[in-house]
Structures are given as structure tokens and as C-alpha cells.
Amino acid sequence: MSNTILKVDNLTKTIGSKKIVDDVSFEIPKGEIFGLLGPNGAGKTTIIRMIVGLINRTGGKVNINGHDLDTDFNGALNEIGAIVENPEFYGYMSGRKNLLHYKRMSRNVITDEKLKETIELVKLEHAIDQKVKTYSLGMRQRLGVAQAILHSPSLLILDEPTNGLDPSGIREFRDHLRQLADNGTAVLVSSHLLSEMQLMCDRFAIIEKGKLLHIESMSDTTNMEETLLREVTFTVNNCDQAIALLKQSYDNVTKKDDNQFTIMIDYNSIAEINKTLVQGDIHVYEISSVKKTLEDRFMEITNAAKEVNV
């Protein structure tokens, strides 16, 4: 069996004369968290709704763990667990009874042991027999994940899953997703919160105005190549003396204050400059390099796309 869990080919959605989603293709392998990034209205939710069969596609193909959505609709949906918008439950029932209700409706056989394992995975053991109306938003989100993965789907789809969560809840949620991915579940998550997606995803796709602009691994974004220039800040005991020493070989040294200067250099030059300073009897207290963030990369790619379309 292929390692690819979700394969989307040339997905398109047209309403009237307007293309909401325009020829989008991507794949997600087993055990990967894949992010759809873009501003509100970019087409992320429309893509997700087409994948889970909530709305019709104008064109394109969706294959989920070997099941074609057109020719084997039930088989494809059986591979999916999803939270699209906020999860809804019966508030007057306990978390356990909500999950048991879903268990009875599932096409898959869900054992009592599987139910117990799922509750433990999302860390709701202490509250599972309380009424859902007493749950915090974070607890509801965890119960939503429990419901989505109870039938052991190969693909988990989440649309803006951290909306309304506090920082502690977001971190817990992120940890749950990583545990699921480590156990082999493929995860598709959409969001406009770039800082959270940077911490959450293995790869990401940038969607803007329905078009897929770029796909990249998070490690490629946050770890700049050694050959690229980056701004490096040195904290020393004598900034003027250090600059005078370095200007014999470098012409892009800038003083920040009496103890700090910045310089644009490649990764391999950092050690060489440090050696020069130490040999010149300069005390080096700190060296810091600015790495690219996902926000930097997002702006770089979207701005480049705008320039092409001008």
C-alpha cells in the first residue's frame, strides 16, 4: 500500500464566473502534519469541504488512502476524521455518552478498549463523565478530536482548530496532534495563525485567492541555507575596537550600541569572525543569528506572486 494518505489532483471550485479554488494539487503522506495557510477567504475551508464531500467539486480528483471519492465515496469518508468549524455535542449528556452515541453510529467496529484508549489519548479521563455543557472550550476541542479519531481514521482534517483557545490550550492541542502523527495519522490543518502553524506543521502550502502558490517543508523555511547571508549580532566588551578590527576585512559592520554590532555574513563566517575577535583580545559574550520565520516566508512568497500578477 502507498505511503500517501491524501492525494488531491487539480481541485477546482467555480461559482458563477468566479473560481473559488483554482487547480489545487498536493499530497500528504502517513504521519505528516500538513498545513493550509492563507488569509480568511483564501479558499482553505472550501478545499476542506470538497475533500470531505460537504460540497461538490467543479473539477479535480480526491483519493484518500487508496479510495477514490467519486467511485468509493463511503470507503473514502470512512478513512477521514474531521473537525470543520467548532465541534458540536449534546450539552446535557456526558462526554462519554456523546462518544458512545457516535460509536453506535460508526460503520467501523469500535471496542470498549479503543474508546478507553482514545479518552486517555486526549487526556479527558478526569472529565469524561461530566456533562459537556460544563466543559471549557479547550476540553470541547479535545472531545472533538476524540470523536474524530475514535474510528481510527488514516486522515484527520481540522479547520481553524485553535480558534478561541488560550495559549495553554493551544499548546496541549498541538501536542495531541504530534502524538497522533507519530502514531501514523496524516493530519491536514488549515489556519491563518502563522506562528502556531510554524510550531505545528511538518510542511505547508500557501493558498491565496484560491490558488496554491507554494509548498515547502517547515525545516527549509526556518533553517536558512549556509550559503545565504543573515544578520548576526555580536555582543562584545569593546564595540568600537571590534568594528575597527573587522573593517579590515568586512565593509558591512553596523554599530548598535557600545556593546553590540551587527554584520551581514554567511553561516560559515560566524566562527571565523569570532576567532578574529578573540585573537584581537576582544571578549565575545553573545552571538545571535536571525532565522527566517514562517511569517517572513509567507510574505516573501505572497509579495512575489503579487509582483508577477501586476
200-251 confidence digits (pLDDT tens): 899 999 898 899 988 888 877 666 555 566 788 999 999 999 999 998 888 8
Residues 185 and 246 in one domain: no
How large a percentage of the chain has pLDDT more than 90? 43
- Mean pLDDT over 123-146 rounds to 89
Q: Give the range with max mean pLDDT: 74-83, 158-167, 221-230.
A: 74-83
Q: Strands 203-208 and 211-217, how do they pair?
A: antiparallel
Q: What confidence tens digit (pLDDT) does each residue in 81-134 have?
A: 988 766 789 999 999 999 999 888 887 788 889 899 889 888 899 999 999 999
Residues 151 and 253 in one domain: no
pLDDT (0 to 100) of residue 87: 74
- Mean pLDDT over 155-167 rounds to 80
Residues 125 and 248 in one domain: no
Output the domain CATH number for residue 205: 3.40.50.300
Residues 174 and 204 in one domain: yes
Note down the domain range covering 45. 4-222
- Bridge partner list, 68: 63
pLDDT (0 to 100) of residue 1: 46
**Residue type for 48, please?**
I
Q: Say which residue, 295 or 10, is predicted with more confidence.
A: 10
pLDDT (0 to 100) of residue 149: 86
Residue 101 CB coordination number (10 Å): 13
Q: Is residue 142 in some structural domain? A: yes
3-class secondary structure, 117: helix
The answer to whether 136 touches 109, Cβ cutoff 8 Å, is no
Residues 163 and 262 in one domain: no
Q: What confidence tens digit (pLDDT) does each residue in 169-206 have?
A: 778 778 888 888 998 999 999 887 787 788 889 999 98
- Mean pLDDT over 278-285 rounds to 93
Residue 240 CB coordination number (10 Å): 11
The residue among 192, 123, 121, 115 whose CA lies nearest residue 161 is 192
Give the separation between CA 74 and CA 133, rounded to whole angstroms: 32
Residues 267 and 124 in one domain: no
